[in-house]
Amino acid sequence: MLKTLFRYFKPHKKLFIIDMLCALTVAAIDLGFPLVSRYAMYEMLPNKIYGIFFLMMISIGAFYILRSVCYYFMTYLGHIFGVHVEADIRSDLFKHLQELDFEFYDKNRTGKLMSRLTGDLFEITELAHHGPEDLLISVLTITGSLIFMFVIEWRLALIVACLIPIFMLIVMNRRKNMARASKEVKLKMASINSEIESSISGMKTSKAFANEKLERNRFKEANDVFVYAKEGFYKAMGSFNAGQEFFMGIMPCVVIGVGGWLIMEGKLNYVDLITFSLFVNTFVTPIRKMANFAEVFTNGTAGLGRFCEIMDMKPKVEEKIDAWDLEVTKGEIEIDNVSFAYVENLEVLDKISLRIKAGETLAIVGHSGGGKTTLCQLIPRFYDVTEGAIRIDGTDIRDVKKSSIRKNIGIVQQDVFIFADTIFENIRYGKPNATYEEVIEAAKKAEIYKDIMAMPDGFDTNVGERGTKLSGGQKQRLSIARIFLKNPKILILDEATSALDTITEERIQESFKKLAEGRTTLVIAHRLATVREADRIIVMEQGRIAEEGSHNQLLEKDGEYARLYKTQKLS
């Protein structure tokens, strides 16, 4: 994991080097003060060299000003370095999330993924910045202090040296407890983020059902679990800090006690004891930094572990190394003996074979759970077939780049996702480099232009979160305008009008007719009245094609399609 982290240091190595040089300067000044003080007490004060003594003290003051400047740069540039590392990691994580396929998002909630993109990465930033800096200052100061102590009085230094490993063992033991507690907190934080995301997204629904109390109770349960996890973490932190404070309190006591005994034995003088005390005080900052490093390392590696966990995930829908860009010229689709299962041995599609001619409109109907949407999701390669093959213009879609397939396919679904942006930007999402004139033309083709111009700000109208300021029909026509801009060879309409009223549906159907002209079109529908004019209709039952033909042919067969049609007509 640390190797992964250090890889992100390289682009910002100048900032890192400045930070480390400042840390090195701080450690050198901290080590220098006890030595200068000892020299002054041995040479200057006894020999009454007062002028040089005060000049030296002024110099020390100047060095402490330099030390403050170093801390300024360590705080400022160090955090800037950490932010850049965090931004790079977040960028790679987001890019990787884009590469993961539908199956990953079927299993992971948005709130948990948000937690990994925000909270976890902040902990990694703290590790990237404070980790090397605190470790360098601590190691240099403690090591340097011990060397000088051994030079002055090896017996007293040996006692101090023996105390440090004991302290480190305590730190490492407490750190493990903190690591477990920190990981638990992160898991609970991700859960509560998921609850928040779900509750806010469904706020209107909870109000409609007057279920605010139910939502509060659900949120309280998640919140209480988080509090309990935090309690465990702070308990581990309290134990850690208690051990640290005991060590830092007992160290001066041991030095004074043993040093006093050595003075009584005539083996140590007061100046060296004072110098030892100064070195012990010098320990205080690095010991606190070591403690801080242990906490930062614990939290940071927990976040880093979760980052690596996602980065190690590979999409199941993988591209071949030599995959190439598909250029769809006709739009002919061949489904050759295709089977598919989301879960092993539970097939949703069973050996389906189907050829859709270029420019043909194929309607797919049947009861819910028959595999209609699944079949259409296999064509853009959102999932990979379990058996068989799907070909576009004679090319197996597994041989080409996924992006090139999807650029040639336009999908309009029942649940249209509208971004919290202007109408103009929402339409232009179909072709990000489209001109203003192209967007206007697409809006006119989708028959939403008049609606847009009737709005206060026209195309610059902000539609709100998930398009709350638009009606269902307006959202659907806006999505159609996107597809007009995209201009794909293949069109998939997945229950695109099932949530609309009859009058609005009729208006949308006119837009769909325009959109389907010259394109290979697959229409999934429950309302059979909307697919009567399709070139061909297939009826799917339990993952198989039960019937196939035109509207009139299927009525003449008097099979499942005829029963469904008569039932809907009577209703």
Backbone angles phi, psi at 459, to 5 degrees: -70, -15
- Identify whether the C-beta of residue 538 lies closer than 8 Å to the C-beta of residue 547: yes
The better pLDDT of the pair 338, 163 is held by: 338
Question: Would you state the torsion angle of the CA atoms of residues 203, 209, 213, 218, taken in this order, to the nearest 10 degrees?
Answer: -60
- Identify whether the C-beta of residue 175 lies closer than 8 Å to the C-beta of residue 240: yes
Q: How would you classify residue 510: left for phi > 0, otherwise alpha for psi between -120 and 50, otherwise beta?
A: alpha
3-state secondary structure of 349: strand
d(C-alpha 263, C-alpha 259), whole Å: 6
pLDDT in tens, 512-534: 777 788 889 998 887 777 788 88
* pLDDT surpasses 80 at 377: yes
Q: How would you classify residue 134: left for phi > 0, otherwise alpha for psi between -120 and 50, otherwise beta?
A: alpha
* pLDDT surpasses 80 at 222: no
d(C-alpha 377, C-alpha 495), whole Å: 13
Minimum mean pLDDT range among 40-54, 116-130, 401-415, 418-432: 116-130
Q: What is the pLDDT of residue 204?
A: 59
d(C-alpha 26, C-alpha 64), whole Å: 9
Which ranges constitute the DSSP H helices of 265-342? 270-311
d(C-alpha 437, C-alpha 451), whole Å: 17
pLDDT in tens, 318-363: 888 888 998 888 889 999 999 998 877 678 898 899 999 998 999 9
- Answer yes or no: CATH 3.90.550.10 is held by domain 2-311: no
Burial class, 456, CB count within 10 angstroms (exposed 0-12 / middle 13-18 / buried 19+): exposed
d(C-alpha 381, C-alpha 412), whole Å: 16
Q: What is the pLDDT of residue 333?
A: 93
Report the chain's mean pLDDT, rounded to a whole number.
82
Q: What is the pLDDT of residue 398?
A: 92
209 pLDDT band, cuts 50/70/90, is low
Range 423-440 average pLDDT:
88
What does the block give as tokens for 503?
């009058």
Output the pTM of the full model. Answer: 0.69
Q: What is the pLDDT of residue 390?
A: 93
pLDDT in tens, 279-329: 887 777 787 777 677 777 877 887 888 888 888 888 888 888 888 998 888
Q: What is the pLDDT of residue 393?
A: 92
* pLDDT surpasses 90 at 103: no
Nearest-Å Rg of the Cα atoms of the chain is 35
* pLDDT surpasses 60 at 570: no
Q: What is the pLDDT of residue 335?
A: 92
- Identify whether the C-beta of residue 481 lies closer than 8 Å to the C-beta of residue 452: no
What does the block give as tokens for 361?
């409109």
Range 430-435 average pLDDT:
87
Of the ranges 12-26, 287-301, 441-455, which is most confident?
A: 12-26
> What CATH class does 333-570 carry?
alpha beta
Distances (CA, A) of 136 to 6, 128, 417: 16, 13, 50
* pLDDT surpasses 90 at 66: yes
d(C-alpha 571, C-alpha 205), whole Å: 28
Q: What is the pLDDT of residue 201?
A: 66
3-state secondary structure of 205: helix
Question: Would you state the torsion angle of the CA atoms of residues 547, 552, 556, 557, taken in this order, to the nearest 10 degrees?
Answer: 0
- Identify whether the C-beta of residue 150 lies closer than 8 Å to the C-beta of residue 294: no
218 pLDDT band, cuts 50/70/90, is confident
Range 163-171 average pLDDT:
76
Antiparallel, parallel or unpaired: β 544-549 and 536-541: antiparallel
Place of tokens 């295709």: 338
Range 156-181 average pLDDT:
77
* pLDDT surpasses 60 at 541: yes
Question: Would you state the torsion angle of the CA atoms of residues 294, 296, 301, 303, taken in this order, to the nearest 10 degrees?
Answer: 150
Domain with CATH 1.20.1560.10 in the chain: 2-311
Pick from 545, 521, 546: nearest CA to 534: 521
Which ranges constitute the DSSP H helices of 380-471? 402-407, 423-428, 436-445, 449-453
397 pLDDT band, cuts 50/70/90, is very high
- DSSP lists the bridge partners of residue 294 as none
Pick from 380, 288, 305, 338: nearest CA to 127: 305
569 pLDDT band, cuts 50/70/90, is low
The residues, any chain, with a CB within 8 Å of residue 114's CB and separated by 6 or more, are 193, 197
Range 116-128 average pLDDT:
77
Domain with CATH 3.40.50.300 in the chain: 333-570
What does the block give as tokens for 260?
């006093």
Q: How many CB atoms lie within 10 A of CB 125?
A: 22
Range 47-72 average pLDDT:
88
Distances (CA, A) of 223 to 115, 117, 226, 235, 375: 15, 21, 5, 18, 41
Q: What is the side-by-side order of every strand in the sheet holding 346-356?
A: 346-356, 333-343, 387-392, 395-396
* pLDDT surpasses 60 at 499: no
Q: What is the pLDDT of residue 357?
A: 92
The better pLDDT of the pair 345, 470 is held by: 470
Of the ranges 13-27, 33-47, 184-198, 417-431, which is most confident?
A: 13-27
